[in-house]
């Protein structure tokens, strides 16, 4: 007889979404960081427009985090790339602040707005 609640057969299966998010961010180039952060911003905007503020905040935060670590890229950002990083990071952080305000998360909103 099979137990419908026996999930042990799933123990050896890895979560592919988790693995994808575990790509070593230190290995990303500045161009890859900018591209992924722009995608995060676009996804965040879509979530925000749909009223899914938690998902929007998560997307904006992911993009901002990628850019905050742009100096870890080898080689580091050029002067022009740094200007792009700064501009996109500002936009992501302000969008994050607005999403946090909608969630009534006042402290995280304040932190994001002042980065």
Please give the model's pTM, rounded to 2 decimal places: 0.77
In a domain, 11, yes or no: no
In a domain, 3, yes or no: no
Structural domains in the chain (count): 1
In a domain, 8, yes or no: no
In a domain, 4, yes or no: no
Four-point Cα dihedral 21, 26, 28, 32, nearest 10: 80
Decide if pLDDT at 23 tops 90. no
In a domain, 6, yes or no: no
| Helices 53-68/79-102 angle, 10° precision | 150
pLDDT at 42: 98
In a domain, 18, yes or no: no
Decide if pLDDT at 78 tops 80. yes
In a domain, 81, yes or no: yes
Domain that holds residue 39: 24-113
């Amino acid at each position: 007889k099979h137990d419908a609640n026996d999930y042990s057969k799933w123990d050896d299966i890895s979560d592919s979404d988790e693995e994808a998010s575990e790509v070593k961010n230190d290995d990303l180039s500045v161009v890859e960081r900018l591209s992924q952060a722009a995608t995060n911003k676009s996804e965040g905007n879509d979530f925000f427009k749909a009223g899914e503020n938690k998902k929007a905040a998560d997307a904006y935060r992911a993009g901002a985090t990628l850019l905050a670590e742009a100096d870890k890229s080898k080689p580091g950002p050029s002067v022009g790339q740094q200007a792009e990083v700064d501009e996109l990071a500002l936009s992501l952080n302000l969008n994050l602040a607005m999403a946090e305000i909608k969630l009534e998360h006042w402290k995280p909103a304040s932190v994001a707005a002042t980065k």
